[in-house]
Amino acid sequence: MRLRDCDVDPDKLTIEISVDNKSPQILLISEGKACIAKLPARGEAIVTTHDNKVKRVKWDEGDQF
């Protein structure tokens, strides 16, 4: 699975992540949980929400011929 859980500090409700990675990433926060994933080099990530909650992430990748 592409999404990786991030540790949330329960006292401060903060997340500590490194931004020195050269590839683009997406950070999703919903219902007190946080996940991070690398974005595809070519393609799209579609985030679906329902009732103000993240329900799913759909990945669509492709290469031009």
Structural domain of residue 51, as residue ranges? 4-60
Number of independent structural domains in the chain = 1
pLDDT digits (tens, 9 = 90+) for 21-65: 788 999 999 988 999 999 888 889 999 999 999 999 999 988 777
User: Considering the domain boundaries, does residue 65 fall inside one?
Assistant: no
pLDDT at residue 18 tops 90: no
Residue 16 predicted with pLDDT over 90? no
Residue 43 lies in a domain: yes
Cβ atoms of residues 25 and 37 within 8 Å: yes
Domain annotation covers residue 12: yes
Residues 6+ away with beta carbon under 8 Å from 21? 38
